[in-house]
Amino acid sequence: MAIPILARIAGASLLRGNDKPQGVSTGLGMSLQFNSKALERKLAEIERKMPSRIDTAVFKAAQKGINYILARTEKGYGYKGAFAPYSSDYAIAKAEGWPRTASRSGFGGDPSGIVNLMVTGQMLGSLAAFKRRGYAVISANRASEAKKVYYNHKLRPFMGFTKTERRKLSNLFASELFK
């Protein structure tokens, strides 16, 4: 937001005078015409639109970030590399399907052995982007799932981005901002 403000100040101080376009010689045999009032109006418009454009761009980048987290996690990788393996008892229980009890209706088995943090899909399905002024937050949208995210992330870091993902998100942010 500082750039439009600085450009407005610089443009206004350099191009002030009467409202008629003024010629500026470049020394190369060409001249440029500026209309200081029109320039000031355009810069003021950019200043007004910039906060909402930043919010929109950062929110879209956060939503794309969720897609990166989900795709990577499904393959068994966190942002720091492959996940630590499940304990042997947990791996067997997950492969065979959870026992049916009064508290659990039973889940289908996952014999693949891939550590993908997926049992019911509720934890990863609860990830959402929340828009704030100037930034966005990726978090679980329910407290019970946020607790699962916290403890799973401590053991198997997945709530972050690789260098490549950060670069892609940065490029997406810039392209959305300067559409």
- pLDDT per residue over 128-151, tens digit each? 999 988 889 999 999 999 999 999
What CA–CA distance (Å, rounded) separates 11 from 7?
Answer: 6
Residue 116 exposure: Cα atoms within 13 Å on the Cβ side: 18
> Does residue 67 surpass a pLDDT of 90?
yes
What CA–CA distance (Å, rounded) separates 77 from 171?
Answer: 23
Per-residue confidence (pLDDT) for residue 140, from 0 to 100: 94
- State the pTM of this model: 0.68
Q: How confident is the model at residue 156 (pLDDT cuts 50, 70, 90)?
A: very high
> Which residues on adjacent β-strands are paired with residue 78?
81
Per-residue confidence (pLDDT) for residue 107, from 0 to 100: 56
Per-residue confidence (pLDDT) for residue 7, from 0 to 100: 41
- The DSSP H or E segment spanning 163 is helix 163-177
Q: How confident is the model at residue 28 (pLDDT cuts 50, 70, 90)?
A: low
- Amino acid at the residue 148: K
What CA–CA distance (Å, rounded) separates 40 from 77?
Answer: 50
Q: Which residue has the higher pLDDT, 138 or 21?
A: 138
Q: How confident is the model at residue 5 (pLDDT cuts 50, 70, 90)?
A: very low
